C-alpha cells in the first residue's frame, strides 16, 4: 500500500499545468486571512485608547479605521469569490486529467485484469473516488496554507501581547494533535472500507440488472434481493462504524476547544487582575485565540475531506499501478500488407490468473487464403485459440507467427488492425445499428455500411425495423435477438474488411483466413 507521503508526492504533478491558478488561489487565501487578522487589532486599539483617554478617540479616527476595515472586507469578498470559483475549477480540471489518465491506462490492460476485476468497482474508482479528489485538490493546499499563516501570525501577535499566556495556550496544541492523530488514521481506514464496499455494491447491482432475464427465467428474484440486502447491510454497518469514529474525532476537538477557552479565561483573568494585561489586550487575545481555535477546528474538520481525498487518490493509483502485461515490444514493426498465414509452432498456454493449462506443444499452420474450421467439445480451447492470434493473451512457450514473423514483433495496433473478429459473446454498444456497424471503420460512408450489412445477411431484418439503421439497440444490444446481434457483428467485420477474419461462433466457421 502506498504511504500518505508517497501518494501526495505522486499526486503533485497534476498541479503543474495549473500552477498559476494555484498561486493565485493561495494569494487570495492570504488576502482573506489578512482581513480576518486585522479586525482584532483595530478593536484592541479602540478599546485601549477609550479606556486610557476617551477624549483622544475622535470620530475621525474611528471613521478612518472603519473605512480601512470596509476596504479590507471588499478585498476579502473578491478574494473569496476567486477561491470559491476558480479554486474549484482547478480541482475539476485536475480530476478530469486524472480520469483521462485512468481511462487511457484501463484501455491498455489485458483481458486477465478484467477477468479478475469487477466493472462496478472500476467505475466507482474513476467516478465517485475522483469527485472527492476535486475537493481535495482545491482545499488541501488552501487550508494548510491559511492555517500556517494564521498560526504563525497569531503566535507572533499573541506573544507580543503576553508571552506567558501565549506559551500556556500553545502548549495545548501538540497535546491535541497527539490525541487526534490516531483517530485520524482510523478515519482514513473507515473511508477506505466504505469505498471498497460501495464498489462491491455497484458490481452486485450491475451484475443483477444486466442478468435480469436470467433472474426472471429462474424466478430467483428473492435470491438476488437477498444477496443485494447482504451487501447493502454490510455497507450500512461500515458507514455506521465510520460515523462513530468521526463522532469521536469531532468530540475530541471540541473538548480541546473548550480547554483552550478555559485557559484563556482563567489565566487571562488572573493576568488582568495583576496588571499584566489590559482589557483591550485581553479582548484582542480572546479574538485571536478564537481565530486560532477556528483554524484548528477547520483543519480537523478538513481531515474528513482530506481522508476521503487521500482514499480517492490511493484507489486511483491502484489502477495506474496495474501492470500492462501486453504491450509493443522494443523494435516492434507495423504489419504491412499481410497475406494471412498463421502458424502455431509448439505453442503452450495457460491462463495467467488460474494457471490452468489449455495447450501444450500445439502445432497448427493455416496458409494464406485457406479456410480452416476448428471443431471440438465445449471447453476444448477453441475460443482461447482465437484470442491468441490478436494477442489478447501471451503464450507461455513456442512461437505464434503471422506471415512468418512472431506476433510479438508487430505493433499491437497494426496486428489487430489486420484481424477482424466476431466473438462468441457478441457485444453491441448502446446506440443505433448504424453506429455499431460503422464502428468497424469509422470513416466509412453510409452506402458502405449498408453494403456490409447486405453481405452479412442483416440488411433485410434491419429494414423491417421501425427506424431501420437508426434503430436503438439498447444496452449490450438487448432489443435484438442473438442471431440479429451476431449478424450485425459480422457486418462490422465485413466493413473493416481485414486480411484475417476470425469467427468464434457456434455452428459456423470458427477460423477463416482470406
pLDDT tens digit string along 111-147?
888 878 877 778 878 887 888 888 888 888 888 888 8
Q: What is the pLDDT of residue 53?
A: 67
Q: Using the 8-state DSSP alphabet, how is residue 55 labeled?
A: G
Q: What is the pLDDT of residue 508?
A: 43
For the chain, the helix, strand and coil percentages under 3-state DSSP, each to the nearest 5: 70, 10, 20
Question: What per-residue string of b and e applies to 452-466 under the rule 16 or more CB within 10 Å gives b?
Answer: bbeebebbebbeebe
Task: For each of the domains in the chain, give its residue range(s) and CATH number, in order of start.
Answer: 4-320 (1.20.1560.10), 342-513 (3.40.50.300)
Q: What is the pLDDT of residue 304?
A: 67
Average predicted confidence (pLDDT) for the chain: 84
What would the pLDDT profile of 396-420 be if each residue is shown by its tens digit?
A: 999 999 999 999 999 999 999 999 8
Q: Using the 8-state DSSP alphabet, how is residue 329 labeled?
A: P
* Torsion angles phi and psi, residue 285, rounded to 5: -60, -45
What would the pLDDT profile of 427-454 be if each residue is shown by its tens digit?
A: 888 889 999 999 999 999 999 999 999 9
Q: What is the pTM of this model?
A: 0.74
- The Cβ of residue 378 has, within 10 Å, a number of other Cβ atoms equal to 7
Residue 45 banded pLDDT, cuts 50, 70, 90: confident
Q: Which three cell numbers stand for residue 36?
A: 480576518
| Whether 202 contacts 316, CB under 8 Å | no
Q: CA 465 → CA 132, 425, 440, 458, distances in Å?
A: 45, 23, 22, 11
pLDDT for 509 beyond 50:
no
Q: What is the pLDDT of residue 204?
A: 79
Q: Which three cell numbers stand for residue 386?
A: 482465437
Share of the chain above pLDDT 90, in %: 24
Q: CA 426 → CA 406, 423, 429, 511, distances in Å?
A: 28, 6, 10, 16
Q: What is the pLDDT of residue 409?
A: 92
Residues forming beta bridges with residue 513, ordered by sequence position:
500
Q: What is the pLDDT of residue 1?
A: 53
91/68 Cα distance (integer angstroms): 33
Question: Which of 368, 364, 370 shows the shortest CA–CA distance to 386?
Answer: 364
Question: Which of 348, 342, 352, 405 shows the shortest CA–CA distance to 110?
Answer: 352
pLDDT for 296 beyond 80:
no
What would the pLDDT profile of 4-44 be if each residue is shown by its tens digit?
A: 788 888 899 999 999 999 999 999 999 988 888 888 888 77
Residue 54 banded pLDDT, cuts 50, 70, 90: low
Share of the chain above pLDDT 70, in %: 94
Given the C-alpha cell 480517492, which residue does it identify?
Answer: 312
Q: Using the 8-state DSSP alphabet, how is residue 323 labeled?
A: -
HSE toward the beta carbon, residue 493, CA cutoff 13 A? 25
Ordered DSSP codes for 127-189: THHHHHHHHHHHHHHHHHHHHHHHHHHHHHHHHHH-HHHHHHHHHHHHHHHHHHHHHHHHHHH
| Whether 254 contacts 293, CB under 8 Å | no
pLDDT for 510 beyond 60:
no
What is the SS3 assignment for 228-296?
HHHHHHHHHHHHHHHHHHHHHHHHHHHHHHHHHHHHHHHHHHHHHHCCCCCHHHHHHHHHHHHHHHHHH
How many residues can be counted in the chain?
Answer: 514
What would the pLDDT profile of 199-255 be if each residue is shown by its tens digit?
A: 778 777 877 777 776 777 667 788 888 888 888 888 888 888 888 888 887 788 788
228/269 Cα distance (integer angstroms): 61
What would the pLDDT profile of 310-367 be if each residue is shown by its tens digit?
A: 888 888 888 898 888 888 889 899 999 888 899 999 999 988 776 678 888 999 999 9
CA dihedral 216, 219, 221, 226 (to 10 degrees): -150
Amino acid at each position: 500500500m502506498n504511504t500518505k507521503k508517497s501518494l501526495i508526492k505522486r499526486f503533485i504533478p497534476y498541479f503543474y499545468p495549473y500552477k498559476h491558478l494555484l498561486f493565485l488561489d493561495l494569494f487570495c487565501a492570504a488576502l482573506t486571512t489578512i482581513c480576518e487578522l486585522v479586525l482584532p487589532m483595530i478593536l484592541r486599539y479602540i478599546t485601549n485608547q477609550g479606556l486610557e483617554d476617551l477624549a483622544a478617540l475622535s470620530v475621525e479616527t474611528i471613521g478612518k479605521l472603519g473605512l480601512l476595515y470596509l476596504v479590507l472586507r471588499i478585498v476579502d469578498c473578491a478574494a473569496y469569490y476567486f477561491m470559491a470559483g476558480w479554486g474549484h475549477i482547478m480541482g475539476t480540471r485536475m480530476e478530469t486529467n486524472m480520469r483521462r489518465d485512468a481511462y487511457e491506462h484501463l484501455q491498455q490492460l489485458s483481458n486477465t485484469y478484467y477477468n479478475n476485476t469487477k466493472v462496478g468497482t472500476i467505475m466507482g474508482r474513476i467516478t465517485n473516488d475522483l469527485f472527492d479528489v476535486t475537493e481535495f485538490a482545491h482545499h488541501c493546499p488552501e487550508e494548510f496554507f491559511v492555517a500556517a499563516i494564521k498560526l504563525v501570525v497569531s503566535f507572533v501577535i499573541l506573544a507580543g501581547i503576553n508571552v506567558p499566556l501565549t506559551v500556556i495556550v500553545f502548549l495545548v496544541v501538540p497535546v491535541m494533535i497527539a490525541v487526534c492523530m490516531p483517530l485520524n488514521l482510523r478515519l482514513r481506514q473507515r473511508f477506505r472500507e466504505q469505498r471498497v464496499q460501495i464498489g462491491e455494491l455497484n458490481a452486485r447491482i450491475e451484475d443483477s440488472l444486466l442478468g435480469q432475464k436470467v433472474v426472471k427465467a429462474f424466478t430467483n428474484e428473492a435470491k438476488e434481493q437477498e444477496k443485494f440486502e447482504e451487501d447493502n447491510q454490510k455497507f450500512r454497518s461500515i458507514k455506521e462504524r465510520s460515523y462513530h469514529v468521526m463522532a469521536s474525532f469531532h468530540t475530541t476537538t471540541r473538548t480541546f476547544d473548550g480547554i483552550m477557552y478555559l485557559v484563556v479565561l482563567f489565566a487571562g483573568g488572573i493576568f488582568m487582575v495583576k496588571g499584566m494585561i489590559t482589557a483591550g489586550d485581553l479582548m484582542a487575545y480572546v479574538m485571536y485565540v478564537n481565530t486560532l481555535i477556528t483554524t484548528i477546528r477547520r483543519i480537523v474538520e478538513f481531515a474528513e475531506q482530506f481522508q476521503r481525498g487521500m482514499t480517492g487518490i490511493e484507489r486511483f493509483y491502484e489502477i495506474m499501478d496495474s501492470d500492462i502485461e501486453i504491450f509493443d515490444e522494443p523494435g516492434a514493426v507495423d504489419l504491412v500488407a499481410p497475406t494471412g498465414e498463421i502458424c502455431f509452432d509448439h505453442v503452450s498456454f495457460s491462463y495467467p490468473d488460474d494457471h490452468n493449462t489449455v495447450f501444450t506443444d500445439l502445432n497448427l499452420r493455416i496458409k494464406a487464403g485457406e479456410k480452416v474450421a476448428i471443431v471440438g467439445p465445449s471447453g476444448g480451447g477453441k475460443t482461447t485459440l482465437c484470442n491468441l492470434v490478436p494477442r489478447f493473451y501471451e503464450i507461455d512457450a513456442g512461437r505464434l507467427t503471422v506471415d512468418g514473423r512472431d506476433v510479438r514483433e508487430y505493433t499491437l495496433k497494426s496486428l489487430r488492425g489486420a484481424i477482424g473478429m466476431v466473438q462468441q459473446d457478441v457485444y453491441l454498444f448502446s446506440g443505433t445499428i448504424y453506429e455499431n456497424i460503422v464502428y468497424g471503420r469509422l470513416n466509412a460512408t453510409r452506402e458502405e455500411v449498408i453494403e456490409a450489412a447486405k453481405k452479412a445477411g442483416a440488411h433485410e431484418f434491419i429494414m423491417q425495423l421501425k427506424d431501420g439503421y437508426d434503430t436503438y439497440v439498447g444496452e449490450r444490444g438487448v432489443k435484438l435477438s442473438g442471431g440479429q446481434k451476431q449478424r450485425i457483428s459480422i457486418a462490422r467485420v465485413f466493413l473493416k474488411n481485414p486480411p484475417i477474419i476470425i469467427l468464434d461462433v457456434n455452428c459456423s466457421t470458427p477460423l477463416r483466413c482470406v
